Amino acid sequence: MLQIPCPHCGPRDEVEFSCGGEAHIARPKESDALSDAEWADYLFMRANPKGVLAERWCHTLGCRRWFNVERDTVSHEILRVYPMGEPRGGGSGA
């Protein structure tokens, strides 16, 4: 089980959290103008890297606040926790 450092509550067990998938995927502004392929790319296609991934997490059973996490998908090491809305810093890919 992961221990995830909630920015408000400190380190807590993974079971208290929900994962919201990959972070920093913006909804296209003019979705009407998109082709089906572009829309499918927004909806379904994810980076799925072997390495550092930026994810959204919510401390569902604690303070119920969302935040971003940079996690290494190989070692499960959590490299950085930062607020929603803040751009991804460091790392690579995605």
Partner 1 sequence: MSDPSLHQSPLATLHLGGRESEAAPDALVQLAERRAVGKLNLRADPANTALMQALETVLGYALPLAPNRTNGAGERGALWLGPDEWLVTVLSGQENALLEALSQAAAGHHAALSNVSDARIVLSLSGPRAREVLEKGCSLDLHPRAFQTGHCAQTRLARAAILLHQTDDAPAYDIHVAWSFAVYLWVWLEDAAAEYGLAVGDGE
Binding site for partner 1 (CB under 8 A): 8-10, 12-13, 15-16, 61-65
2 vs 47, which CB is nearer to partner 1? 2
Q: How many helices (H) and strands (E) does the chain have?
A: 1, 6
- Count CA within 13 A, CB hemisphere, residue 87: 3
Three-state DSSP state, 6: strand
> Which DSSP state fits 67?
E
Q: How far is the CB of 89 from partner 1 (least distance, A)?
A: 22
Q: How far is the CB of 13 from partner 1 (least distance, A)?
A: 5
Nearest to 93 by CA among 57, 38, 51, 43: 51
- For partner 1, the closer of residues 66 and 94 by Cβ is 66
Query: CB of 7: closest distance to partner 1 in angstroms?
Result: 9
Q: Which is nearer to partner 1, 5 or 91 (CB)?
A: 5
